[in-house]
Amino acid sequence: MAFARRITNPEALYFVTFATVQWVDVFSRSNYTDILLDSLRYCQKEKGLRIHGWCIMSNHVHLIISTKVGHHPSDVLRDLKKFTSKQIVAAIEDKNLPESRRGWMLWLFRKAGEANSKNTFYQFWQQDNHPIEIFSNKFIDQKLAYIHENPVKSGLVDEPWEYRYSSARDYMCNKKGLLEVELL
């Protein structure tokens, strides 16, 4: 039996990763990325989410997060994933928006939804968030480096701060990125 990681300490700092089903490259389109960014901003403002590091890749997201007192990271992540999955699937379904991969993506999300009894129709995100509690400054540095180097290792940019969809600018250039970041 595989061990499922859970967020057990709501006051701790966590490194989380979540991905689209079948690793579909949804976030190669800015309109879908914007939905995710807007939802993250909403969770920061209304649900007690504190983002300390982040990176949105084409098919997965890395975050270093905590939550304000009275909020649980699992609840925030559940709500974030539920809302963004509905919004992004609706945007993909919208025939007024250009999307050459519409039929293929919706078919994959429908097949994943049919295979999961927790869904009614589509499944957009993989189930797990792979939470890892951060327990030391060395571990923080390691995870921030991992997050910020992800676009470099993928060949998208030469330097981490060149990537628009991450907190590298906040940490390396002292410039504000697309999300509010509480530096560690």
Rounded to two decimals, what is the model's pTM? 0.93
| Side-by-side strand order, sheet with 132-133 | 49-56, 60-67, 14-19, 132-133
Give exposure, 73-95, as e/b (b: 16+ Cβ within 10 Å): bbebbebbbebbbebbbebbeee
Residue 2, pLDDT score: 41
Structure tokens at 180: 């509010």
Q: Among 84, 82, 76, 57, which Cα is nearest to 14's? A: 76
Q: Shortest CA distance to 84 belongs to which of 20, 139, 136?
A: 20
**Mean per-residue pLDDT pooled into runs of 10, the chain (184 residues):** 66 96 97 98 98 98 97 96 97 93 96 85 92 95 98 98 98 95 96
pLDDT at position 4 is 45
Q: What is the pLDDT of residue 1?
A: 34
Predicted pLDDT at 3: 41
- Residue pair 34/50 in contact (Cβ under 8 Å)? The answer is no
What DSSP assignment string belongs to 118-165?
T-SS---B-S----EE--SHHHHHHHHHHHHHHHHHTTS-SSGGG-TT
The answer to whether residues 151 and 160 touch, using CB atoms and an 8 Å cutoff, is yes
Q: Which residues pair with 60 in a beta bridge?
A: 19
Tell which CATH classification among 3.30.70.1290, 3.40.50.720, 3.20.20.70, 1.20.1250.20 matches the domain 14-172: 3.30.70.1290
Tokens (6 digits) for 121: 């129709």
Computed on alpha carbons and rounded to an integer, the radius of gyration of the chain in Å comes to 16
